[in-house]
Amino acid sequence: MRLVHVYDSDSLNENVTFLNCLRLPYVTRLKCGGFIFSLRMNHTMSDGSGISQFLKALSELANEAKEPSILPMWCRELLCAREPPKVSCIHREYQQLPPDTKSNFIHHSFFFGPKEIYAIRALLPHHLSKSTSFEILTACLWRCRTKALQWKNSNEEIRLLCIVNARCRLNPPLPEGFYGNAVVFPAAVTTVGKLCGRPLGYAVELVKNAKNEATEEYVHSMIDLMETKGRPCSTRSGSFVVSDISKASLKDLDFGWGKAVYGGVAKAGLGDIPGVSVYMHFTNSKGEQGRVVPICLPINAMERLEKELDNILKANNNGKMILRSNF
Helix axes 299-315, 114-121, angle to 10 degrees: 80
- 100 catalytic per annotation: no
Q: How many angstroms separate the CA atoms of 303 and 323, rounded?
A: 12
Q: From residue 234, give the alpha-carbon distance in Å to each of 80, 102, 174.
A: 19, 17, 24
Cα 213 from chain centre: 18
Q: How many angstroms separate the CA atoms of 237 and 269, rounded?
A: 14
Cα 167 from chain centre: 17
Rg (CA), the chain: 21
Q: Could you tell me if residue 174 is left (phi over 0), alpha (psi between -120 and 50 degrees) or otherwise beta?
A: beta
Q: How many angstroms separate the CA atoms of 199 and 204, rounded?
A: 9
Q: How many CB atoms lie within 10 A of CB 88?
A: 12
Q: How many angstroms separate the CA atoms of 221 and 86, rounded?
A: 6
Residue of 254, 272, 281, 310 marked active site: 254
Helix (H, G, I), strand (E, B) or coil at 231: coil
Q: How many angstroms separate the CA atoms of 6 and 209, rounded?
A: 47
Q: How many angstroms separate the CA atoms of 221 and 231, rounded?
A: 13
Report the DSSP beta bridge partners of residue 289. Answer: 283
Helix (H, G, I), strand (E, B) or coil at 116: helix
Q: How many CB atoms lie within 10 A of CB 254?
A: 13
H or E stretch at 188: strand 187-191
Q: How many angstroms separate the CA atoms of 291 and 112, rounded?
A: 5
Contact call for residues 236 and 273 (beta carbons, < 8 A): yes
Residue of 43, 100, 108, 127 marked active site: 43
- 126 catalytic per annotation: no
Q: Which residues are catalytic, by number? A: 43, 254
